[in-house]
Amino acid sequence: MTGWPALGTAKGCGYRLALMNEAIRPGPDTPRQAAGLLQLSVVVPTFNERDNVGALFRKLEATLRGIAWEVIFVDDNSPDGTWQALRELARQDDRVRCIRRIGRRGLSGACIEGILASSAPYAAVMDADLQHDETQLPKMLSLLQSGEAELVVGSRYIEGGSAASFDRQRAGASAFATEIARRVLRVSIADPMSGFFMIRRDRFEALAPQLSTQGFKILLDVVASADGELKAVEIPYSFGSRLHGESKLDSMVALDFLGLVLAKLTNDTVSLRFLLFAMVGSIGLGVHLATLFLMHSLIKAPFAEAQAAGALVAMTSNFILNNFLTYRDQRLKGFAILRGLLLFYLVCSVGLFANVGVAFSVYDQEPVWWLAGTAGALMGVVWNYAMSGLFVWRKR
């Protein structure tokens, strides 16, 4: 027996139809359904923001009353369990969603994934730590809805805005980066470094393939990639102080910024990761040549041995630098560093043979140590790049 009332009797049919109607009838209104068709997705990247997300949600709820909105948190597997707090929040309110990313880090990548996971016509990006003034969101939305803008930027550097919470060093760095972006990339907005903006999702989707997932400066990337084709309006706001938790800004942000500027200058023909890898490679070349000089010219070791030692030292320093800079979003930690280093040696051993072989044959014909050393090291760099991306820092 199925447990269903028998078909064919008027009473039984009626009961079954009633059950089916029950199944297809929408349940009680959720806050999202009650507000109508989804208009706005607020995307919030989080890393160790457990104590901030609840307060942010309540502030959004208060300020976005009457608007059909949702918030998409993109958490990079925070050790403080932010994603667990978000899951709890999402179970209680269907306007909250949480994307938990594993094995990846990066503010820009998190924002891109969050916006691409949204289906609302408009998407905002803001920090979790309550430094961005959420009360500006309705105004930003109406500027987009009216067609006056395709991008609205919360700006600290126009009249009425401020970044009073910055210390002198950070204010100087921010002003310097803004000036570089404006002059070198010819970005015309006053605050291209802002992390607070709202954009038409269709415009963002069109630009998304050009954007870099690395780095901190998603807005600068969006504006530079749009190349003046995005109608932007700035509205002032005051950048507040972080509520709880620690800043994720570190000195490496400057490097990310430099890489982004260079990538945009070369029309995205070279990726930020490749630029960083090439930069580390050129440092490795210096390390290689210095070791070669020390061994061959000062210690008088035979050339082949000196060249092999140079390659080994350069490979080790390249591994360490790449782990800290080039692949810092997938940085190997703890025991994985040793495993990665051994793997790095292993996959590059063919490159090492090629390195020494090429250098030796060049040196054989033309005994100029730096020429032979450079030729060999270049061979090694190409191998290292191809192999490391495939085996050492491969994406999970």
Ligand X SMILES: Nc1nc2c(ncn2[C@@H]2O[C@H](COP(=O)(O)OP(=O)(O)OP(=O)(O)O)[C@@H](O)[C@H]2O)c(=O)[nH]1
Give the residue with the Cβ less far from ligand X, 76 or 150: 76
Q: Are 329 and 307 in contact (CB under 8 A)?
A: no
Residue 57 C-beta: closest distance to ligand X, Å? 13
CA angle 90, 91, 97 (to 5 degrees): 25
How far apart, in whole angstroms, are the C-alpha atoms of residue 28 and residue 92?
Answer: 14
Distance CA 330, CA 214 (A): 11
Residues that bind ligand X (CB under 6 A): 45-47, 49, 74-76, 105-107, 110, 127-129, 131, 195, 242, 247-249
191 interacts with, out of ligand X, Mg ion, none, CB within 5 to 8 A per kind = none
Q: Scanning the structure block, which residue is given the tokens 């006053």?
A: 190
Q: Which of 148, 106, 143, 105 is nearest to 124 (CA)?
A: 143
Sign of the Cα torsion 209, 210, 211, 214 reads positive
Q: Give CA–CA dist 276/330, Å, rounded.
A: 14
Which H or E element spans position 342?
A: helix 335-347
For the CB of residue 156, give the shortest distance to ligand X in the complex, in Å.
Answer: 11
- CA dist., res. 346 & res. 348, Å (int): 5
Residues 127-146 that bind Mg ion (CB under 5 A): 127, 129, 131
248 interface partner picked from ligand X, Mg ion, none, CB below 5 to 8 A per type: ligand X
**Nearest distance from C-beta of residue 272 to ligand X, angstroms:** 15
Q: Which CB sits closer to ligand X, 127 or 234?
A: 127
CB-wise, 41 or 355, nearer to ligand X? 41
Which partner, ligand X, Mg ion, none, binds residue 214 by CB below 5 to 8 Å per kind? none
- Nearest residue relative to ligand X (C-beta): 247
Among ligand X, Mg ion, none, the one that 182 touches (CB under a kind-dependent 5 to 8 A) is none
Residue whose CB is less far from Mg ion, 47 or 303: 47
Partner from Mg ion, ligand X, none contacting 76, C-beta within 5 to 8 A by type: ligand X
